[in-house]
Amino acid sequence: MNNQVKIRESIDPKHLALQKTLDIICGKWRLYIIYQLDTQARRYGELRRMIPEVSEKVLIQELKDLVSLGVIEKKSYNEVPPRVEYSLTAKGLQVLPTLLSLTSIGELFLEP
């Protein structure tokens, strides 16, 4: 797993949980990807087009990480040409409001 932002080799469960949270949100495109998936499943190509600035490798990597974290899930349809869809998991949906609420922090600090 990349994008590890360790808080501490923590014994304290609070810090462990925080660590996990940071794992989830602290990747350059993590939140952005999550937001593209909030309402509906998206194909890989769609996501590429929605976030053209991110390179292929990094997008795949971030998607993989989010899948292994359990935030999103991947569904491959055995068709030709191949079709793959990504969507939020139940847990992912569950934390979406909290993630969205993070904007309020930024808004407060953006003011002069």
Partner DNA sequence: CAGCATCCTTTAAGATACTG
Partner DNA sequence: CAGTATCTTAAAGGATGCTG
Positions in the binding site for a second copy (CB under 8 A)? 5-9, 14-22, 24-29, 31-32, 51, 53, 69-71, 91, 94-95, 98-99, 101-110
Q: How many CB atoms lie within 10 A of CB 93?
A: 13
Closest CA to 72 of 82, 85, 59, 83: 85
- Token duo for residue 60: 């795949």
Pattern of binders to DNA over 30-69, x per CB under 7 A?
-------------xxxx-x-----xxxxx-x--xx-----
Q: Closest separation between CB of residue 37 and DNA, Å?
A: 13
Position 2 contacts DNA (CB under 7 A) = yes
Q: How far is CA 31 from CA 76, 88, 98, 101, 111, in A?
A: 23, 12, 12, 12, 22
Binding site for DNA (CB under 7 A): 1-6, 27-29, 43-46, 48, 54-58, 60, 63-64, 74, 76, 81-84
